[in-house]
Amino acid sequence: MINLFQPQVGDAELAAVAEVFERRWLGHGPRTTAFEDEFAEHLGVPPDRVLFLNSGTASLFVGLDLLDLGPGDEVVLPSVAFIAAANAVVSAGARPVFCDVDPRTLNPTLADVERAVTPATKAVVVLHYGGYPGDVVAIAEFCAERGIDLLEDAACSPASRVDGRAAGSFGDLAIWSFDAAKVMVTGDGGMLYVRDADRAERARRLVYHGLRHASGLGRARTAGQWWKLDVEEVGRRVIGNDLTAAIGSVQLRKLPAMVARRREIVELYDRELADVAGLALPPPLPAGHESSYYFYWVQMDPAIRDDVASDLFAEGVYTTFRYEPLHRVPLYGAVDAELPGTEWLAGRTLCLPLHPGLSDEDVRVVADRLRKAVESRPGRADR
């Protein structure tokens, strides 16, 4: 089976884990701090504003907790997003309000966000779909002008930039995911960026039970009875650890090469599929935009999309559609939302295998089998 995703790990990651074993400290410690500092430098942000947590989902939940949302508050987010974003909004006590997206880029535009904002809007969450930054600059300016917090879901975008500035650094908060299917992997893990220094300090308490001092050993150097509790508000335990952080440091060093290979694969798909009648390819990136190339999506007549996916699976190629629209989930109370762009793309879009472990021959096999599956059926994509 040619997999959709596949982590790229090897001897360097094993050596980093072995070093942690040798130091006999597996929990949150110096390797965690080092990874936070390295990722902050990669982003170009202060290191005390970056926290390595145990998942991207935990980062979303903590990020929204920092906004002190409650009943009557609304959070705007694209319907084409991972379910964790909507769950985090609901968990924070607010109501998710789903906005539309551009049907070809699958990213929300400024106009999409503007249409969904009301006087009750306290925050906006934008997903950089497939690693493509989208309209984040304009959306960030819009939110700043109106005093609305912006959280960037950069889960799939650790190397994405606009005019040299890192995706995730435009808003008030941002998250990244390093699970086993992402561009960078640590097994499980995520990063949270908090622009405001006071909020970042609070975040460090919230991610470890609400404790002001996470380490009794560290406190013992400056205070007596260091075992006493100093809890000021309820928190979770969602911190990262030195084992996964050590893997993350290696993956961060590998990131440029991994993204370069992803770009080569995207360019090969573009060439191999350019003349397939009935198939629309991802639109080109705008000037100044850099992608992490997490997804490669194609669009076709909705009458054939599911059959094409089944044909490919039978031929040893795993594809999927990411992400099933959230406004269709009854739990969120928005099944009647009118999102024409989202509805258009939901029946037409299919994500192809994309990871650095693919050989050029693998890509050609996928492209050839996709071509045959599409051309064997009537129907053309709307271009």
What pLDDT is recorded for position 217? 60
Average pLDDT on 36-48 reads 98
Tokens of 237: 């335990």
61 and 101 part of one domain: yes
- Decide if 51 is inside a domain: yes
Asked if residues 101 and 132 have their Cβ atoms less than 8 Å apart, the reply is no
pLDDT of residue 361: 98
Same domain, 70 and 133: yes
Do 75 and 91 belong together in one domain?
yes
Tell me, yes or no, whether 244 and 360 share the same domain. no
> Sorting pLDDT into bands at 50, 70 and 90, what band is 232?
confident
The verdict on residue 2 lying in a domain is: no
278 with 192, same domain: the answer is no
Q: pLDDT class for 231, splitting at 50, 70, 90?
A: confident
State the helix-helix crossing angle for 360-375 and 302-314, rounded to 10 degrees: 130
pLDDT in tens, 111-161: 999 999 999 999 999 999 999 999 999 999 999 999 999 999 999 999 999
pLDDT band at 230 (very low <50, low <70, confident <90, very high): confident
Assign 383 a pLDDT band (cuts: 50, 70, 90): very low
pLDDT in tens, 236-250: 999 999 999 999 999
Judge if 261 and 359 occupy the same domain. Answer: yes
Question: Which of 195, 226, 250 is the C-terminal boundary of a domain?
Answer: 250
pLDDT digits (tens, 9 = 90+) for 150-195: 999 999 999 999 999 999 999 999 999 999 999 999 999 999 999 9
Residue 351, CA distances (Å) to 89, 180, 296, 320 in order: 26, 17, 6, 5
Catalytic member of 122, 182, 228, 254: 182
Number of domains in the chain: 2
Q: Which residue has the higher pLDDT, 217 or 181?
A: 181
**Phi, psi dihedrals of residue 140, rounded to the nearest 5°:** -65, -40
Q: pLDDT tier at 280 (50, 70, 90 boundaries)?
A: very high
Question: Please, which residues bridge with residue 216 across strands?
Answer: none
- Clarify whether residues 74 and 94 are in a common domain: yes
Mean pLDDT for the stretch of residues 63-81: 97
Instruction: Determine whether 182 is an active site residue.
Output: yes
**4 within some domain:** no
CA gap 130, 281 in Å, rounded: 13
Summarize the confidence of residues 356-371 as an average pLDDT. Answer: 98
Mean pLDDT of 323-349: 97
pLDDT at 381 over 50: no
pLDDT above 90: percentage of residues in the chain: 91
Residues 312 and 239 in one domain: no
Domain boundary among 196, 229, 250: 250
pLDDT above 50: residue 6: yes
Residue 312: CATH number of its domain: 3.90.1150.10
Which residue, of 185, 219, 250, is where some domain finishes?
250
Residue 151, Cβ density class (10 Å: 0-12 exposed, 13-18 middle, ≥19 buried) = buried
- pLDDT for 218 beyond 70: no
In-domain check, residue 6: no
Q: Do 83 and 130 belong together in one domain?
A: yes
The pLDDT of residue 46 is above 50: yes
How much is the pLDDT for 220?
64
Q: Is the pLDDT of residue 91 over 60?
A: yes
The answer on 140 and 275 residing in a single domain is no
Q: Are residues 274 and 290 in the same domain?
A: yes
365 membership: H or E segment, kind and range? helix 360-375
Assign 187 to helix, strand or coil.
strand
| Integer CA distances (angstroms), 305 to 15, 93, 218, 271, 302, in order | 44, 37, 57, 21, 5
**Structural domain boundaries, residue 192:** 11-250
Residue 301: predicted pLDDT: 97
The bridge status of strand 289-290 relative to strand 190-194 is unpaired
Q: Let me know if residue 381 belongs to a domain.
A: no
